[in-house]
């Protein structure tokens, strides 16, 4: 069971790719509405249900006053189930900007645990890359932005893009990596030491 698909309470514009038959599907609070509309039976329903407004049958209920967001609760459960790739819907375009930022940190939490996560929104996909690389095909189009997460990200290489970088350093206090562009070549983002928050257009699919 390598994949975990988590539906959160934010805006949902449809699936970016088919869900794997053996994927573990979690409906987190208001994300339960999304799985119902898709006609999907989730593997697990959890949350404090302050967004949904009612408690689904057989749901795992948590108090509103807690340290974890509902998305983080879902992540912790998915990790316990042995999942290694996490896909989030309804976690990027919601009305709560603070929860969007919390979800960026949730991606870092996953990276710190040696696994990968992607927030799939209406127009963008966001992921965190830690001490590794992501290739992009020559068909990739649009904007690619990379930001330092936490301490300085060292050994950063950007290849096949409008603005290349070789073995550079990105600092958390300066957005040097914003608004790069794909140029019809195979592209690569690599970081030797540290983490990068990466944004790219949803039409490119799930890369990495």
99 is written with which tokens?
Answer: 């929860």
This prediction has a pTM of 0.94
Number of domains within the chain:
2
Domain of 84, CATH number, reads 3.40.50.10240
Same domain (yes/no): 112, 161: no
The pLDDT of residue 1 is 57
Residues β-bridged to residue 127 = 118, 198
- 105 with 15, same domain: the answer is yes
Mark the ranges of the chain whose per-residue pLDDT is less than 50.
none
Give the contacts of 165 (CB within 8 A, at least 6 positions apart). Answer: 156, 157, 158, 177
Q: Could you tell me the residue range of the domain that residue 75 belongs to?
A: 3-122
**Rg of the Cα atoms in the chain:** 17
Residues 115 and 193 in one domain: no
Q: What is the pLDDT of residue 63?
A: 83
Same domain, 97 and 139: no
From 84, 99, 122, the end of a domain falls on 122
User: What gap in Å lies between CA 36 and CA 57, rounded to an integer?
Assistant: 13
Residues 50 and 69 in one domain: yes
Choosing from 87, 122, 157, the residue where a domain stops is 122
Residue-level pLDDT at 64: 82
Identify the CATH number of the domain in which residue 177 sits: 2.60.120.320
Name the token pair of 18: 């088919």
CB 144 within 8 A of CB 165: no
Any idea what DSSP says for residue 66? -
Give the closest residue to 33 by CA, choosing from 11, 16, 18. 11
Between CA 151 and CA 197 the distance in angstroms is 12
Instruction: Please give the Cα distance from 160 to 115 (Å, whole number).
Output: 26
Tell me, yes or no, whether 208 lies in a domain.
no
The contacts found for 38-44 with CB under 8 angstroms, 24 or more apart, are 42/7, 44/74, 44/77
């Amino acid at each position: 069971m390598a994949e975990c698909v988590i539906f959160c309470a934010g805006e949902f514009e449809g699936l970016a790719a088919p869900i794997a038959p053996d994927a573990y599907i979690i409906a987190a609070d208001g994300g339960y509405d999304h799985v119902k509309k898709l006609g999907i039976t989730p593997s697990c329903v959890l949350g404090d249900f302050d967004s949904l407004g009612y408690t689904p049958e057989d749901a795992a209920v948590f108090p509103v006053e807690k340290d974890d967001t509902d998305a983080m609760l879902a992540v912790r459960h998915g990790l316990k189930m042995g999942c290694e790739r996490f896909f989030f819907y309804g976690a990027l375009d919601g009305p709560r900007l603070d929860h969007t930022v919390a979800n960026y940190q949730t991606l870092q939490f996953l990276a710190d645990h040696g696994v990968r996560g992607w927030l799939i929104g209406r127009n963008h996909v966001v992921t965190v890359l830690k001490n590794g690389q992501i290739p992009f095909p020559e068909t990739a189009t649009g904007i690619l932005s990379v930001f330092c997460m936490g301490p300085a990200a060292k050994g950063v290489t950007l290849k096949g893009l409008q603005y290349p970088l070789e073995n550079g350093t990105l600092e958390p206090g300066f957005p040097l990596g914003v608004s790069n562009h794909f140029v019809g070549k195979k592209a690569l983002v690599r970081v030797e030491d540290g983490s990068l928050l990466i944004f790219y257009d949803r039409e490119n699919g799930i890369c990495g």
